[in-house]
Every structure is written in structure tokens, then in C-alpha cells.
Structure 1
Amino acid sequence: YFFFWGGGGAFMLLFGLFITKKLIQPLMKLQQELKKVKERHFSDVKLIKAGGEIGAVAKSVYDMAGELNRFNHVQKQFFQNASHELKTPLMSISGYAEGIKDGIFEGEGIDKGLDIIMSESSRLKNLVTEMTLLA
């Protein structure tokens, strides 16, 4: 009788440990993947294979990390393009302003330089307005 209950108790203990491990291990792995998201290492996030609700949450985390990675890439590309688009008119404005100041341009050359400065300033204003509308 004692061995029956003792054996049953040991079985229940082992069964409980097994179930706990099956539940906790995927949650601990999911926590590691969420830490990668927190640290903005979106491309390092791996899909955790688990069943039930834990599996559904793991899939959502994986999908979210993929979307954040794509957004991050698009954002970097946007800022690279925007800085190039802003730099070009600034260089023209700066070059013509220095040329006028240093006396490189004379007569109609000064007027042409000032027209370019005004045109590029207007272009910059339009670019900044468009960027503001996108934000």
C-alpha cells in the first residue's frame, strides 16, 4: 500500500516537473527573443516552435520583429535619400554665395548666382515641407 502511494507520488512529481518544463522552456525562449526586439536586433529574432497560446504569441513576436526590421531598413533608406536631396541644393547655395562674396562673379554672373541661390532655397523649402507632411 505504501509503495503504491509512494510510487504514485513520485510519478506525480516527475509528471509535474515534465509539464512545468514543457510550459516554462518555451516561455524562457520567448523571453530571450523579446529581449532581442527590445535591443533592436530584429533580424536575430528566431521563431519559437511551441503549441497553443505560447506558439501563437511566439509567431506574433517573430512577425512583429520582421516588420520592425523592414521598417528600420526603409527608415534608414529614407534618411540616406533625404540627406542626399538636402545636401545637393545646400552645396549649390554655398558655392554661389562664396563665389559672389569672393568676387568670382561679376555683372550678370552675380544676378545668375543670386537666381540660383533663390531657386535652390525654394527647392530646399519644398523638400522640407514634403518631409514635414510625411512625418
Structure 2
Amino acid sequence: MFDAIMKRGLATLGLLALAAPAAAQFGGPPPPPNTGVPVYTRLTGAQAGGSFTGVIDPPKGQFCYIMNVTGTNAPTAASINGDNGASVLSLGALSGNSSGGCQPIAADLAAAILANPSAYYVSVPTAVGAIQGRLSK
């Protein structure tokens, strides 16, 4: 009889041990609110194209993006440019036709892009010519 009680007790403890981590996944404080604002564009060029999605997070001072390029070998650079053609934010080194990353962004630039995204465009130089696209929300 003692063996039966021990087996039941151990089985119950085993089930509780398995259930506790699963229950913990749904507990705890809620995640922080998402403060990022998405911007996106379709990239076009004579022989290449692609898509670009960025998220500007002013409270964090961060610009994160993901980009896919087709019709060319892996591009090596990309930037956000203003209407005058000058680069306002380098997106750093790219790692293939599908790239992404995060860059710090100044508060005034983040506010300017969010206020008027079409005044800025993504530029990606490639072996077959630059591909570009105007930002929008």
C-alpha cells in the first residue's frame, strides 16, 4: 500500500513539474507597447527590384528594416536619402539579397521621416544599376 501511495505521489509531482513551465509561459507582466511606426516601399530599377519595410521607433531612437532584392547579385549597401539625394541614414553593410538590421536614428530625423515619408527614399546600388523606392506609411 505504501508503494501505491508513493507511486501516485510521484506521478502527481511529475505532472505538476511538467505543467508549471507551460503555465509560466502565460504568466508575468504584459509585454511593453509597440512604439514603432512602419514605413515601406517597393524598390524598382531597370533590371532589379525588391521590397523594403522599416520600423521607426522614436522612443528607442532606432530604425529597423528588412529588405529583399531580386534580379541582381547580392547588393552590399543601402541608405535612406532625402529629396536632395543626400544620404541621411546609412543602413550598414548588407548580407545578401535578403537583409535586415537596426540602426540608431536621431530624434529629429525620425520625426521628419514620419511627418513626410515621401520626402525620403531607399537607395540600393547594385551591379545592374541602383534600385530605389519612396517611403510611405
Q: Fold-level match, TM-score > 0.5?
A: no
Q: Which has the higher helix share?
A: 1
TM-score by length of 1: 0.31
TM-score by length of 2: 0.30
Q: Which has the higher strand share?
A: 2
Q: Which has the larger radius of gyration?
A: 1
